Amino acid sequence: MSALRKFFTIAAKHCDLIETISVEGELPLNDIEADKGFDLLCDYGVAYRTSQNSVRLVSDFQAFIDLVLKTDSLSSVNIDVSTIWNRIKHNIKAYNELTSSGQFEDALKSKRSIEDSVYQMVEGLKRNVELLRKRIENDFGYVTSLSAKKKENDLALYEADKLISSLKIINVEEVLELTNGSSEFYLLFRNDLMNGQLMALEGLNKAIDVMKAHMFRYRKLEDRAKSFKRFKAFVDENVGLQALDEAFPFDNEVSVLPDLLNVSFMENLTSYPDPDQPILRDAYIDIVESIQLDKNRVEPVKACEPSLGVINETTSDIVLEEPKSRLWIEKLLIATIECKPNKIAVCDTYDAMEMQVTLHDYLDVMYCELLNLPSSKSTHFEINTLGDEHPIYNGNFDINEMTICCKV
Amino acid sequence: MNYDELFAKTVDTLLSGHIICPIAYSSLRKYLSLDLNRDKVNSHLNQTGRKLSSIEGEYYYCSFNYLNNSRVKQCRDFFKHNQEKIKPVVGFINFIMRTSGDERVVDVGDEIHINRLADKLETDFSLTNELEKVLLATKKSTSAKKNSPYDRLMVFMNFFEAQGIVKKMNSDSAIYTCTGKLAYHVAMIEFFVENHSEHFPELEDKEQMDFEL
């Protein structure tokens, strides 16, 4: 069994423990003692005992786990560019000395270290930029509140700026000079390191642009939330609609009228109801009960209460309304139409039913359901039941059981 | 007959007073994302005295491109008529913000999970009161007072679905998504607070800094 396979076998055996330490940061030694064989992991150098009688994972192994699991624990820690850069330069010098002194085997090790450091730098930069972009693109994925998102964005901006500054330390010409233009390192520095640096810079600058745009959006969202809160406070304080009228005077403000108010929203109020979702009797009663009529244009309801037509349940005889009251009802319906904008909208509740009930359906139900009158008495509207025709609407069937016609 | 079906649908939808957004009319919104198509639609609307307007360049609606005394009167009437609608929408936004614990005003595309709302209602009695307040504003409070909080919540959601403020992504789903109609109301609120600031109470500094709903 290869050494690597052996290591992964042992690591797999202690997977739960490794995961716990990885998440918690450290575990008391007492909790680990029961897990026989964990010492082997310490022997491999992936974990160690602290003086506080606990066990921690070595940072490289922790970084490896974060990389594999794509966790965000490192997302706020930038790659240490200057340390890696100094290591590269140090190893180049060592390589030069070892080569000139004829210690070619050790020089090869230094060369390997230089290559490892360059790729560590390139990969680290790439990962840093990816994490940054992930945090940006995830929008509100990691946080729920606007202020938390702003803080996160601020931190990400700071980190990106810091990384850009630290990238300036990378000078390909300097290392090429140190290697005396050696062809062994030329492609490594000129292609891999330089491209890695340029791509990181490009990625970071793009990320910063996006983050700045996001900051603008967050500020806008914040302003919107404040505006909403002020508006809500206003609505809470002023229950009646008149207060809103005073707040939004339209006279002499023609020039600033926005498209938002100059809309063509009220064009289509007479669509037919959805046959799959008929409005039933109870819903109609709700609508009718909620009607707020313009008191200046109609007579008080009580004026005609005694003369409303009703069905006498004991005798089944019909008491017809007096002609005067019938006229009043017709007047009431027409007045209801006329008192609203465009002479179409009957009342706000009717408008709230948008597209679900026609105006004539609505008026007929008002006529028949609210006032409990025989529909045959309406001048403008006529209601017939489907199926066996009954001369009188008794108010006990649903809209989908009747047909409505306009008497033109 | 050979005709541009998407163009026709877009114009019909706009003229019938709907707001085109990715949630309510995704194919039409996609159609309008091209400059050429927007120009075509706008040019057609111009001939009817209207134009293609947008909220933040994202959600499209139809407005008139002229103002005369008659239009101003109609706008005034429209606003008065709309006042009644704004109140429940304010209640809706506030209720959703409170239940989600989010400081942001709920936005187009935000999802509303009925089961999560129902869970919150069960544990927070003040939310039930808030819900009833909104239902009162919608005039839907009388018909089913004895029903469970979940039923009341459904009355609430059904009302705003009928208003076009939210849309069920499919009939079996318990998830609603906010549409461009909500953005319209929010834009209206912002417009009035920004342009008629003197009518609206200023928030205290503490409230501004620590925006807790």
Among A31-40, B31-40, B152-161, B182-191, name the one with the lowest average pLDDT: A31-40
Q: How many CB pairs under 8 A join A and B?
A: 172
Q: Is the pLDDT of residue A142 over 80?
A: no
Specify whether B92 is located in the same domain as B38.
no
Provide the pLDDT for residue A366.
Answer: 57
* Half-sphere exposure in the Cβ direction for B45 (13 Å, CA): 28
Q: Please indicate, yes or no, whether residues B109 and B172 belong to a single structural domain of this protein.
A: yes
Do B154 and B76 lie in one domain? The reply is yes
Domain-terminating residue out of B45, B64, B83: B64
Which residues numbered 144-173 in A keep a CB inside 8 Å of some CB on B?
A: 144-147
- Mean pLDDT over residues B25-38, rounded? 94
In a domain, B167, yes or no: yes
| Residue B207, both tokens | 């409230």
Neighbours of B211 (CB within 10 A): 18
User: Using the beta-carbon criterion (under 8 Å), do B76 and A250 form an inter-chain contact?
Assistant: yes
Q: What CA–CA distance (Å, rounded) separates B148 from A374? A: 37
CB neighbours of A366 closer than 8 A, spacing ≥ 6? Answer: A288, A291, A333, A336
CB A202 within 8 A of CB A209: no
Cα B1 from Cα A404, distance rounded (Å): 35
Mean pLDDT (whole number) for B142-156? 72
Q: Is the pLDDT of residue A251 over 70?
A: no
Q: How confident is the model over B71-128, as pLDDT tens digits?
A: 777 777 777 767 777 888 999 999 999 888 778 899 999 899 998 888 888 888 888 8
Mutate to test the interface with A, among B65, B81, B136 (most CBs of A within 10 A): B81
Identify whether residues B59 and B151 lie together within a single domain.
no
B121 and B203 together in one domain: yes
Q: A230 and B193 in contact by Cβ < 8 A?
A: yes
Q: Residue A307: pLDDT band by 50, 70, 90 thresholds?
A: very low
Kindly report the nearest CA distance between residue A342 and chain B, in angstroms: 8
The Cα–Cα gap between B160 and B106 comes to 14
pLDDT of residue A367: 56
Q: Which residue of A has its CA nearest to B79?
A: A261
> B52 versus B198: which is more confidently predicted?
B52
Kindly list the residues from chain B whose CB atom is less than 8 angstroms away from the CB atom of residue A341: 74, 77-78, 80-81
Asked if residue B213 is part of any domain, the answer here is no
Q: How far is CA B103 from CA A237, A403, B96, B111, B128, in A?
A: 22, 50, 10, 15, 20
Average pLDDT over residues B2-24: 88
pLDDT of residue B43: 93
Report the residue of chain A nearest B105, measured CA to CA: A225
Does B143 fall in a domain? yes
d(CA A37, CA B155): 61
Angstroms from B158 CA to nearest CA on chain A? 11
Instruction: Give A384 or A363, the one with higher predicted confidence.
Output: A363
Q: How much helix, strand and coil, in percent to the nearest 5, is found in chain B?
A: 60, 10, 30
Identify the pLDDT of residue B179: 94
Does residue A337 belong to the interface with chain B, where contact is any CB pair within 8 Å? Answer: no
Cβ contact B83–A245 (<8 Å): yes
Note the helical H segments in A296-406: 323-338, 348-352, 359-365
- Domain termination residue (choose one: B40, B64, B88): B64
A283 contacts B211? CB cut-off 8 A = no
For residue B111, the enclosing domain spans 70-208
pLDDT of the residue at B95: 93
Query: In terms of C-beta density within 10 A (0-12 exposed, 13-18 middle, 19 or more buried), how is residue A191 classed?
Result: exposed
Is the Cβ pair A221, B105 closer than 8 Å?
A: yes
Q: Who wins on pLDDT, A276 or B14? A: B14
Residue of A nearest to B81 (CA): A348
Residues B116 and B11 in one domain: no
pLDDT for A368: 55
In the block, tokens 């109870």 appear at: A282
118-177 in chain B: CB under 8 A from chain A? 138-140, 142-143, 159, 162-164
Residues B59 and B78 in one domain: no
Q: What is B45-56 written as a DSSP string?
A: HHTTTEEEEEET
Q: Which of A248-262, A390-404, B7-21, B164-178 has the weakest average pLDDT? A: A390-404
Q: How many independent structural domains does chain B possess? A: 2
A94 or A22, which is more confident? A94
Residue A54 distance to chain B (closest CA, Å): 39
Q: Is 90 exceeded by the pLDDT of residue A327? A: no
pLDDT beyond 60 at B160 = yes
Task: Write out pLDDT tens, residues A262-295.
Answer: 887 643 333 223 333 334 444 444 544 444 433 3
Say which residue the tokens 């330390």 belong to.
Answer: A169
Q: What is the DSSP letter of A190?
A: I
Q: What confidence score (pLDDT) does residue A393 get? A: 42
State how far the Cα of A92 lies from the Cα of A101, in Å rounded to an integer.
14
Asked if the C-beta of A265 comes within 8 angstroms of chain B's C-beta atoms, the answer is yes
Determine, yes or no, domain membership for B202: yes
B74 and chain A: CB distance < 8 Å anywhere?
yes
For residues B81 and B116, membership in a common domain is answered with yes
Residue B22 included in any domain: yes
Do B63 and A266 make contact, defined as CB atoms within 8 angstroms?
no
pTM metric for this prediction: 0.57
Q: Do B83 and B171 fall within a single domain?
A: yes
Residues B126 and B24 in one domain: no
Is the pLDDT at B38 greater than 90? The verdict is: yes
Over range A198-224, report the average pLDDT: 86
Q: Do residues B178 and B160 share a domain?
A: yes
The mean per-residue pLDDT over the stretch A13-34 comes to 77
Q: What is the model's pLDDT at position B60?
A: 95
Best of B19, B54, B83 to disrupt the A interface (most A CBs within 10 Å) is: B83
Q: Are residues B31 and B92 in the same domain?
A: no
Q: Using an 8 Å Cβ cutoff, are A280 and A398 in contact?
A: yes
Which residues in chain B (2-31) have CB-CB distances under 8 A to chain A? 15-17
